[in-house]
Amino acid sequence: MSTAVDERLQSALGGLAERAYVDAAGEPVAVVPPANLREAVKVLKASPDTYCDYLSFASAQDMIPRVPRFDGIYQLYSIKHHHWFRLRVPVSDGEALPSLADIHKGADWHERETYDLFGIPYDGHPDLRRILLTDNWHGHPLRKEYDHQFEPVWAPGTNVLQNVAEEGMAGHEAAGEDPAKTIVLNLGPQHPATHGVMRLAVELDGENIVGCVPHIGYLHTGIEKLSEHHNWTQNITHYARMDYLSPMNNELAYCLAVEKLLGVEVPKRAQYIRVLMSELTRIISHLVWLGTHAMDIGALTVFLYCFAEREKILEMYEAIGGQRMMTSYIRIGGVQDDMPESFPGMVEAWEKTFDSQLSIYHGLLTKNPIWRQRTMGIGVMDRDTSLSYGLSGPLARAVGIDWDLRRDNPYSSFEEFEFDIPVEQTGDVYARYLVRMEELRQSRRIVLQALKKIAETEPGTYVAEDYKLAPVPRDGINASIEELIHHFKYWTDGIWVPSGEAYGFIEASKGELGYFVVSDGTAHPQRVKIRGPSFSNLSAFPEMIKGHLIADVIATIGSIDIVLGEVDR
Amino acid sequence: MSVIEVVWMVAKILIVFVVLLLAMAYLTLVERRFVAWFQWRIGPNRVGPLGLIQPIADGVKLLFKQELIPAKADKFVYFLAPAISLIAAFAIISVIPITEHFYIADVNVAILLVLAISSLGTYGIIFAGWSSGSKYPLVSGLRACAQMISYELALGFAVIGVVLMAGTFSLREIVLGQEHIWYFIPQILGFIVFLIAGVAEANRAPFDMPECENELVAGYHTEYSAMKFAMFYLGEYVAVINVGMLATVLFLGGWHGPAIFGAGLIGLSNLFWFILKTCAVIFFFIWIRATLPRFRYDQLMRFGWMVLLPLALLNIIITAGIRAFIQ
């Protein structure tokens, strides 16, 4: 496939690209000069061969000491052909990149993030402000020379708290004649319905929303920067903390990316265990979504039912990996440990009651007239806007985009599983609800298939038999000097990953979760860019709630299913 | 009026007040326990046997909490609001006949009084919203204002059916009129409208717009703390009890027991039936709170004006028509 795609890329881009190559995963990359970037993206979007209608993310990489210093990185995808393209745009320090915000609306936030973390300005960007860090921040953390210990993080004399009060609409107030007609209400950072620390500055005319500016970054923990300082294995521990409601999915996407760089073959048993755990993860993530979403709309009981159900799966987590939330269970080359013998019994005991649980949720909500009134026709997106913002996962499927990475770009042996992908057409909160409710059922189907498949594989083959990747078993250390050396090297240096770049992606519970990793051949990543689905999904929020009421803000946030840990990283 | 009568009157007021206060305190516990059972939880059971001392612990805690008053609050109105809320809620009990002979006052326009006082209670919420000097309470106050107007109307019209049946405004005589048939049977439409509007009147889920935790943080009492917060809380629960008692008196036959049990012991069994019916209505309130999602503000208004009000009017027309026909 890769060569065919490569040719298509070449023919579509023609003279726009300086050169093109194929990355470690066989995906085509083109190097494009800044002047040609907009043209190249437009051509890729329009050309029937490539048809890249979806911008996965826009980011950058600090290539110091190379001149020009930075590479702007654009990951494109075609919903129609299911292939990836990456563009690299070399740009020197201080030089601006052209903004893509008018071609792909989703680029807006991604460019702001890149500007924030790298200091690369964008020409023609509608609203170039910092996004993850506060406006008063000094420096750009993802630059290699950035070191907060030598620079004050805050400019001298800054009133940190003042920022929150004054940012407000950030210059986005409706240009009405009468400024006294509207008030600006800050929903958040501490608000019962923002699911974490997010702030929505909402401009209100009565209870009608005139404008909305989301402020994020309150939970920014610099995971991408930290990733450059820890070794490849240690990094896994960060990612469970990112989307803390679906920890194993985060780990899986990262491990897939690193495995692409390493070119390692993961044993079948490990792949099936990954499928099993990733579907269980989808279920717990959706259960928390359903619970909190229902609670936001006032159905408190559903919340507690969902958490009771989630508890059963967290116990399985505990049985298989020893941890309930911050699992670090999925490792490079496989998983941390084999599935315990009691595990299938636990899953079976749970799945027997799961269907009746689902029907309880359906009974409380699906046909409930209040629920339908609250969700139908609210937060509607149409197909084109949705694609333009880079919405993925259940949000995309709710507007009729029949796209699921598990089926279209299968990873971890998903092609061997049978499952249906629910698609709804209306694109409102209710459609998203229906899609996720059906996904819960489908995930249960996959879990059962995975259990069967695991039973057919040989026990003990849970990680690649390569002691450069996985720790040596205890008895091996005593047996041979070579394995002792492996043991020593593994625990001191970690894994050395050959230089190259790869994009690991999965269909996480919230959408397309991707890790773009670059290695310079050492034990630490050179760059890890995390494409969190919540980030892109949230960026479309102001569009969704145009003309709605305060109560709809709450319903819509719930339907996006954001986890701020992932939005802010 | 003799001295004994005066003493007896004061005693009655005290008894009713204290019992109502205790009932309110334990209603919080009962609600928490019931909601917990609905939700597969246990609920508060740590303080005292079965958690029975929990309301007292809560009360003591609220009493000793620090008072925080927002700097931009309109102090006088800010202090006035919880008092209005509480007094209005307690005042209603004065005209409710608990048994045939045990009541504080038998007023010949009792229903009008009840409706008037419960409207006053709304001022507590509106004042709280306006005077807090904060945005969430403000929005909440506006919501409360609109909600009360629309639901009070439906509530009032639902009651008129009963008044037509009984031919009196006195609550005691209304109950006496229900000796043979409780009004919720001929007045089923009115009863349903009354219950729904009653839930809205008491600001409870799914009509808890003014509070609406997930949207407005805590609504009108966001900026209240300690005992002033407790007063709103008290007022709200007393309002729930009031609606329960009113439903009992107006539609469920008040102190009359079901005919199959006969007259029974006159005094105590009357009290028993009254309390049982009130509790049943309150349980219904708790039940729907645990089951239903919340309305949206404009849908709530539409529901009030487009569904409840026409239904209540229809009920009046039917009742009046039948009355005219019979006579």
H or E segment and range at residue A326: none
Closest to B293 (Cβ–Cβ): which among A192, A371, A550? A371
- Locus of tokens 């102190």: B255
Question: Minimal Cα distance from A183: which residue of B?
Answer: B135
Which pLDDT does position A219 carry in this prediction?
A: 85
Whole-angstrom distance, CA of residue B24 vs CA of residue B22: 5
Cβ neighbours, 10 Å, residue A490: 17
The residue among A498 and A161 whose pLDDT is bigger is A498
ipTM of the complex: 0.82
A374–B293 C-beta distance less than 8 A:
yes
Say if residue A152's pLDDT is above 60.
no
To the nearest whole number, what is the mean pLDDT of chain A? 84
- Quick check: B229 contacting A, CB < 8 Å? no
Chain A nearest C-alpha distance from B294 (Å): 5
Judging contacts by C-beta atoms under 8 Å, the chain B residues touching residue A549 are 296-298
Q: Are A432 and A395 in contact (CB under 8 A)?
A: yes
Nearest alpha-carbon partner for A244 in A189, A206, A190, A281: A281
B293–A297 C-beta distance less than 8 A:
yes
B87-103 confidence digits (pLDDT tens) = 888 888 888 887 777 77
Q: Which tokens sit at A414? A: 């998903």
Which pLDDT does position A287 carry in this prediction?
A: 92
A555-564 confidence digits (pLDDT tens) = 888 888 888 8
Whole-angstrom distance, CA of residue A290 vs CA of residue A223: 27
Say if residue B265's pLDDT is above 60.
no
A300–B290 C-beta distance less than 8 A:
yes
User: Three-state SS for A428?
Assistant: coil
B39–A300 C-beta distance less than 8 A:
yes
The residue among B326 and A156 whose pLDDT is bigger is B326
Residue A515's pLDDT band (cuts 50, 70, 90): very high
Most B-contacting residue of A300, A428, A557 (CB-CB within 10 A), to test interface: A300
Say if residue A231's pLDDT is above 70.
yes
Q: Among A227-236, A390-399, B219-228, name the one with the lowest average pLDDT.
A: B219-228
Closest to B214 (Cβ–Cβ): which among A365, A549, A554? A554
A531-544 confidence digits (pLDDT tens) = 989 899 888 888 88
H or E segment and range at residue B162: helix B135-166
What average pLDDT does the segment A452-477 reach?
82
Q: How far is CA B207 from the centre of its chain?
A: 13
Q: In what order do the strands lie in the sheet with A208-215?
A: A183-187, A199-205, A208-215
What average pLDDT does the segment A162-168 reach?
60
Which pLDDT does position B220 carry in this prediction?
A: 79
Q: Residue A77 carries which side chain, given as an amino acid letter?
A: Y
Most A-contacting residue of B296, B298, B299, B306 (CB-CB within 10 A), to test interface: B296
Whole-angstrom distance, CA of residue A535 vs CA of residue A214: 11
A356-387 confidence digits (pLDDT tens) = 889 888 888 888 888 888 888 888 888 888 88
B292–A549 C-beta distance less than 8 A:
no
Residue A1's pLDDT band (cuts 50, 70, 90): very low
Which pLDDT does position B259 carry in this prediction?
A: 62
- Quick check: B294 contacting A, CB < 8 Å? yes
- Residues 6+ away with beta carbon under 8 Å from A348: A451
Which pLDDT does position A4 carry in this prediction?
A: 61
The residue among A280 and B264 whose pLDDT is bigger is A280
B66-125 confidence digits (pLDDT tens) = 888 888 778 888 888 888 888 888 888 888 887 777 777 778 888 888 888 888 888 888
A370–B294 C-beta distance less than 8 A:
yes
Whole-angstrom distance, CA of residue A53 vs CA of residue B267: 79
Say if residue A175's pLDDT is above 70.
no
- Quick check: B136 contacting A, CB < 8 Å? yes
Which pLDDT does position A283 carry in this prediction?
A: 92
Residue A171's pLDDT band (cuts 50, 70, 90): low
Share of chain A above pLDDT 90, in %: 9
DSSP letter for B219, please: G
A78-128 confidence digits (pLDDT tens) = 888 888 888 889 998 888 888 888 888 888 899 999 998 888 988 888 888
Question: Minimal Cα distance from B140: which residue of A?
Answer: A207
Q: Which tokens sit at B61? A: 């805690």
Q: Are A540 and A389 in contact (CB under 8 A)?
A: yes
Which pLDDT does position A412 carry in this prediction?
A: 86
A320-356 confidence digits (pLDDT tens) = 888 888 888 898 888 888 888 888 898 989 988 888 8
- The three-point CA angle B34-B35-B38 to 5° equals 90
Question: Minimal Cα distance from B290: which residue of A?
Answer: A301
The residue among B27 and B262 whose pLDDT is bigger is B27
Say if residue A477's pLDDT is above 70.
yes
Which pLDDT does position B240 carry in this prediction?
A: 87
B214–A185 C-beta distance less than 8 A:
no
B40–A305 C-beta distance less than 8 A:
yes
Whole-angstrom distance, CA of residue B120 vs CA of residue B90: 12
- Quick check: B205 contacting A, CB < 8 Å? yes
B215–A308 C-beta distance less than 8 A:
no
To the nearest whole number, what is the mean pLDDT of chain B? 83
Say if residue A503's pLDDT is above 80.
yes
Q: How many A-B residue pairs are in contact by the CB < 8 A criterion?
A: 84
Transcribe A94-128 into DSSP letters.
Answer: TPPEEP-TTT-TTHHHHHHHHHHHH---EET-S--
Chain B nearest C-alpha distance from A550 (Å): 7
User: Three-state SS for B107?
Assistant: coil
Query: CB burial class (10 A; 0-12, 13-18, 19+) of residue A323?
Result: middle
Question: Minimal Cα distance from A185: which residue of B?
Answer: B135
Chain B nearest C-alpha distance from A35 (Å): 47
Whole-angstrom distance, CA of residue A455 vs CA of residue B76: 73
Share of chain A above pLDDT 70, in %: 93
Closest to B217 (Cβ–Cβ): which among A191, A299, A300? A191
Question: Minimal Cα distance from A378: which residue of B?
Answer: B296
Judging contacts by C-beta atoms under 8 Å, the chain A residues touching residue B208 are 298
Say if residue A205's pLDDT is above 70.
yes
Say if residue B320's pLDDT is above 80.
yes
CB interface of B with A, residues 261-290, below 8 Å: 290
Question: Minimal Cα distance from B136: which residue of A?
Answer: A185
B215–A551 C-beta distance less than 8 A:
yes
pTM for the whole thing? 0.87
B178-205 confidence digits (pLDDT tens) = 777 787 777 888 888 888 888 888 777 7
A185–B135 C-beta distance less than 8 A:
yes
Transcribe B40-72 into DSSP letters.
Answer: T---S-SSSGGGTTHHHHHHHHHHHSPP---TT
